[in-house]
Amino acid sequence: MSSPSSPAESATAAATADGPRDFIRQIVREDLATGKHAAVHTRFPPEPNGYLHIGHAKAICLSFGIAREFNGWCNLRLDDTNPGREDPEFVQGIKDDVRWLGYEWHELRHASDYFDVFYRAALKLIADGLAYVDDLSVDEMREYRGTLTAPGRNSPYRERSVEENLDLFRRMRAGEFADGSRTLRAKIDMAAGNINLRDPALYRIRKVTHQNTGDAWPIYPMYDFAHALSDAMEGITHSLCTLEFEDHRPLYDWCVDKVDLPNHPELWQSVVAAGLEAKPAKPRQIEFSRLNLSYCITSKRKLAQLVAEGHVDGWDDPRMNTLRGLRRRGFTAAGIRLLIERVGVSKQNSVIDYAILENCVREDLDATAPRRMAVLDPLKLVITNLPEGHVETLGFANHPKDEGFGSRDVPFARELWIEREDFAEVPPKGFKRLVPGGEVRLRGVGIVKCEEVLKDGDGNVAELRCTLDAESRSGLPGADRKVKGTIHWVGAPHAVAAEVRIYDRLFDVPAPDAEDDGRPWTAHINPEAKRVVQGWVEPAAAQAEPEQRFQFERLGYFVADRVDHRADAPVFNRVVTLRDTWARQG
């Protein structure tokens, strides 16, 4: 019997295992194979100022997925350095979304866990002559910064002495100065070609209550400073970021190198004293292209605007591409993970057709969703050669491709509901369903013939009176008789009334925020993105648990709404159609 392998041996084995071969995973494999790292440590660091959206799914799947593939671990770290915009509601939402996607974090951390570390690191940079307190206003700082083609100018406060800077920064910490009146800046190079290195701000004064630390801090670190040092504190080996952070990488490395946490344990003893594990190391930032989908908005600000202006019914509205919205719509975590796998990882920005996401969800649901029958635009059909009150029970497979799903009983009666579009008085060319005098097969029953069409006072078709060919019933010789069409149905006496919400893409153009037609992006909200109809479902569908998904035969994939559905008042959301209907519109 072999002895259990060490984490390093497990990581080495994982490095040589088969799996995706994108450039990030290749870097990880090489780092493990050469012994640069004994284990892989990643993190997912969202800011809790909104709910996660489909774009975040790629970052989640990449950071958590790589850690899982290489037998490492991934932290969930909440970047809570911007109090006032952040909310515990969003913190809980982020945790729920990560778990829903199928991942669990090694540790839950917050940037605020390291506020004392950041402060001490800033004092070290000042003492080393690498940071100074600046009195320029935000507008003046922008003016001094220069442009992409012209170098910046040194602040008149850049040459303050170390002693004066230490004194001013400590007084900033003590809360002596007004919001925005002073800033701590790194002293790097105002002529640097990379504007991010032109003495970037490290700290600003903000007298705002923080959700974790209360009023303990009147100053807060800037993102670039906090992000780099948080990664270093946690021993992150591969810090995976989207491409917009590529120009920030030199500043990331500058902060890591100049503070040098591994060799300065006095800076982070407060973290150890608080009972958190500290394993400072030098992380490597690697950038990849973000997930951009057509017909989508992935700006948190614009998503918040949709909610605030009432264009949608909240962050979890099934029209939203927030993860909680997609979940309520009925999209599956497996379908989203499949999209991320198929899109792959590269450094090339591109826009992925929304249809690819829908197809990934369809593919998952085709295999995992049991079948049920429902009628969304009902037309009554009466089988006149069955006796009044006739009811029988028919057995139906729950999944035509997988016997493991078992079967169910479906009540069949003399009176049925069928889809109104399955009948045409004047059929269009190629119509293969029911017409006056014509025949069609009722799914699982037999062949019926339309003998009479009854209309209401307005001339609308109200009822079809048909006869059933008894010899065409299942198991009888006539069951093999050929007719052109097969339609589904629901037995009227046992049908359960259901609210069915027909959802579609929220925007009706591929790039809604391009605004290249001179119209605001909100003008492209699809008015057909939500329709509500009252339909009928078979009893087995009504008994669904919230979030249970089905294929309603011939209609699409549907989910029992996770908030509003009840067995005595069913509510179903359409997840996706059976086929891509948008391709035909193009």
CB atoms within 10 A of CB 265: 11
DSSP state of 65: H
Length of the chain, in residues: 586
Nearest to 216 by CA among 174, 269, 270, 272: 174
CA distance 546 to 328: 10
CB 336 within 8 A of CB 360: yes
* β-bridge mates for residue 410, sequence order: 394
Task: Give 178: exposed, middle or buried? Use CB within 10 Å, 0-12, 13-18, 19+.
Answer: exposed
Listed in sequence order, the residues at least 6 apart from 448 whose beta carbon sits closer than 8 Å to its beta carbon are: 381, 383, 434, 439, 440, 441, 442, 466, 467, 468, 469
* Known catalytic membership, residue 47: yes
Catalytic residue among 282, 290, 473, 554: 290
* Known catalytic membership, residue 290: yes
CB 146 within 8 A of CB 223: no
* Known catalytic membership, residue 301: no
CA distance 365 to 399: 11
Contacts 24+ apart (CB under 8 A), 301-307: 302/513, 302/521, 303/50, 303/51, 303/53, 304/50, 305/522, 306/522
Catalytic residue among 58, 300, 337, 574: 300
CB 506 within 8 A of CB 321: yes
Give DSSP secondary structure letters for 94-156: HHHHHHHTT---S-EEEGGGGHHHHHHHHHHHHHTTSEEEE---HHHHHHHH--SSS-----T
Which residues are part of the catalytic machinery? 47, 290, 300
